[in-house]
Amino acid sequence: MQFQGQIRKMITENGQPIQYYLNLSHDLININQLIHKKIKIRHSGYECMNCSSDEKIFRMGFCKKCFFESPYASDTIIRPELSTAHLGIAERDLAVEQEIQLQPHIVYLAYTGDVKVGVTRESQVPTRWIDQGATFALAIAKTDNRYEAGMIEVALKAHLPDKTNWRKMLQDDFEDDLDLLDFRNKVAEYFPDDFRKFSMDNGNVVKLDYPYQAPEKITSFTLDKNPEFEGILTGIKGQYLQFEGGHFINVRAHEGYVATLEIMKNNPSIS
C-alpha cells in the first residue's frame, strides 16, 4: 500500500493511547495501526504550506519568501509577547493577526523531560501539549489575548525553561505522578502584578498517554540527509515517529516536504 503527498503535522486524538494520523495532503492515515509494521518513507519534492511553490522549504513548512512575508510565520508566532493586534497595530497583516491573537490563550506548565512553561490558544489544548510530547500538563493562566499570555510567559521563563529538549522528551519514561500543582504554587509569585488576575487555580493536571516506550539510544534523521528511509515503526511521541534501533524522525519538521509512504509486506526474515 502506498500514499503520496505533502507532509503536514500529524493530527492527534487524545485517548489511551493517543491516536495519531499522518496527514499527507489531507489524506489521514492512522499510524497507531502501523506500529510493528515495516514502512518506507521517500522524499520526492517540496510544496510550500502557504503558496504551494515547489521551492525548497526554508522553515516551518514555508518557502523562504513565505517565511519572511506570511502572517502565519511572523515573530509573534514564536514570541507571543511581541503581539500588537490588541493595539490595532499590524505586524504583517492585521486581519490575520487579530484572528490569531485576539482570542483566549492559555499559559501552561508541561513536563517534557523538564517542567517548562508555554503559551497556546485555548482552542489548541490539548493538541499543543501532545505535539510537544508532554506527559503531564497543567493550565495555570487564561488570558483574553496572546499578548497577555506572552507577558506572563516571559516573566516565568526567567525561572523555567520554555523550550522542549527533544532528546530528553524522547528519553523520558516518566511513570509516576509528577506534582505540577506544586510547581504552579511555586511559580505563582513570579506572575507580573498586572497579570495576576489571569491566574487559574482550578486547573487539573492532564496526563497524556503515548503509544511509546523509550529506547536505549536515540538518533534522529531528516529526509534531507536520508531521503529514503525504511524501518519497523515501534512507537509515536510528540511529533516523532520511532523506528526499531532508536531511529526517530520529527514529522512536524518536515511540513511542506512531499513524500511517499509505503507500507511494506511483512518480510518473513524479520521476526
Residues that bind Zn ion in the complex, under the rule CB under 5 A: 48, 50-51, 53, 63, 66
User: Rg of the chain's alpha carbons, rounded to an integer?
Assistant: 20
Q: How far is the CB of 143 from Zn ion (least distance, A)?
A: 31
Place of cell 520529527: 250
DSSP state of 135: S
Closer residue to Zn ion in complex, CB, 48/236? 48
Q: Which residues sit opposite 259 in a β-bridge?
A: 5, 43
Give dist(CA 193, CA 84) in Å, integer. Answer: 20
Query: Residue 66 Cβ, how far from Zn ion at the closest point, in Å?
Result: 3
Would you say 143 and 198 are in contact if contact means Cβ atoms under 8 Å apart? yes
CB of 72 to Zn ion, least distance (A): 11
Q: Which is nearer to Zn ion, 54 or 209 (CB)?
A: 54
Comparing CB distances to Zn ion, the nearer of 50 and 242 is 50
Question: Judged by CB, which is closer to Zn ion: 49, or 140?
Answer: 49
CA distance readout (Å), 158 to 128, 163, 228 = 22, 12, 42
Least CB distance to Zn ion at residue 59 (A):
11
**Nearer to Zn ion among residue 68 and residue 174 (C-beta):** 68
User: In angstroms, what is the minimal distance from the CB of 248 to Zn ion?
Assistant: 27
Q: Indicate the residue type of 17.
A: P
Residue (of 126, 120, 181) closest to 150 by Cα position: 120
Question: Looking at beta carbons only, is 48 or 180 nearer to Zn ion?
Answer: 48
CA–CA dist 32, 14 (Å, integer) = 13
For 27-65, give the DSSP string: EEEESGGGTTSEEEEEEEEE--TTT---SPEEETTEEHH
Burial of 225 (0-12, 13-18, 19+ CB in 10 A): exposed
- What size, in residues, is the chain? 271
* Cβ-based nearer residue to Zn ion, 46 or 191: 46
CB of 256 to Zn ion, least distance (A): 8
**For Zn ion, the closer CB: 86 or 252:** 252
Q: How far is the CB of 214 from Zn ion (least distance, A)?
A: 37
Name residues whose C-beta falls within 8 Å of residue 141's C-beta, 6 or more positions apart in sequence: 106, 107, 149, 152, 191, 195, 198, 199, 200
The minimum distance between CB 35 and Zn ion, in angstroms, equals 34
